[in-house]
Structures are given as C-alpha cells and as structure tokens.
Amino acid sequence: MNEKKLFIALIIGTILLLGGSVAVLSSSGTSAITVTQNAKVEIQEKTFDWGQIEYNGPKASKTFVINNSGSETLKLFNIKTSCTCTSAQLITVDKKSPLFAMHGGSSWVGEVAPGKEAKLEIVFDQTFHGPSGVGPIQRFITVETNAADNPKLEFNLKGNVVKN
C-alpha cells in the first residue's frame, strides 16, 4: 500500500513540476509584443569585415545603428549571437540591455521611439577559443522586431584571427 501511495505522489509531483516549468517559460515578456505595420526599421549596414584581428590585441568591436523611421515604437528583443565568444548589447535613448550571447533567453525589450535610433554594440573575443582559434571567423547576431516588414534582423561580421 505504501508503494502505491509513493508512486501516486511521484506522478503528481512530476505533473506539478512540468506544469510549473511550462508556466514559467511561457510567461516571457516578449510574448505580448504585437507586430505593427507602423514601426519601420532602417539600417545603413548589416555586414562588417574586421580584416586582420590580432590574437593578442584588443577585442574586436563594431557598433551598428538601428533607426525607427516609422510612426510607432519599434521594439527590439530576443537578441542572440552565433557563438559564445561574441556578445551583443543594445543601447537605446533610455536603456542599456544586458549582454547577450549565444545561449540563454531574456524577456528584455528595447524600445525605439519614432525618429530615434538604437545602437547594437558587438564585441568579439578572439582569445575565447584559445591559441588554436586562429584563422577566418564569421559571426552572426540576430535581433527580432515588432516591424511587420522586418521581423528579424541579421548582422554578419567576419575577420581573420592572426598571431604575430
């Protein structure tokens, strides 16, 4: 009889744990973002070549500017990089995001008012992969938006890590 009660308790506990996990994961702040035709993304450049990146030199960095040329607030969220060696941070007029990387999620949402801009700062740590991490590299950063005509932005950076 005790084994039966234990078995039932384990099943109930498992169901509660799974239900709680689903509730927490689905309560992300980005789930309430509404797509709009009136937020417009303008970007002058989405690609950049660092050229030669000295392994023992300073970390490679690049800032991209994201403009909102629409009549409604542009929302930027779910920022991810293609490798843990690369971080991204979004800076708006009144907010600075946490550092984003390849893993993990965030409910952080950056807002860009009509006629304003945000800066996406990218930093590549060329020493992250150790001494054998030399040679050509290519990294991608994605940013989701509420703009109907541009729901996902992709930035492409490349370079060549060298040791002198």
Q: What is the pLDDT of residue 148?
A: 97
The answer to pTM > 0.85 is: no
Kindly state whether residue 118 falls inside one of the protein's structural domains. yes
Residue 88, amino acid: A
Cα 146 → chain centroid: 15
Kindly state whether residue 114 falls inside one of the protein's structural domains. yes
Kindly state whether residue 76 falls inside one of the protein's structural domains. yes
* Alpha helical stretches, state H, the chain: 2-26
Per-residue pLDDT of the chain (164 residues; tens, 9 = 90+): 677 776 666 577 566 555 544 444 433 445 578 999 999 999 999 999 999 999 999 999 999 999 999 999 999 999 999 999 999 999 998 889 999 999 867 789 999 999 999 999 999 999 999 999 999 999 999 999 999 999 999 999 999 999 98
What is the total count of domains within the chain? Answer: 1
Kindly state whether residue 32 falls inside one of the protein's structural domains. no
Closest CA to 141 of 28, 48, 35: 48
What is the span of the domain harbouring residue 134? 38-162
Furthest CA-CA distance within the chain = 73
What CATH number should be reported for the domain holding residue 91?
A: 2.60.40.10
Q: Could you give the C-alpha distances from 80 to 4, 42, 110, 120, in angstroms and in order?
A: 47, 20, 14, 12
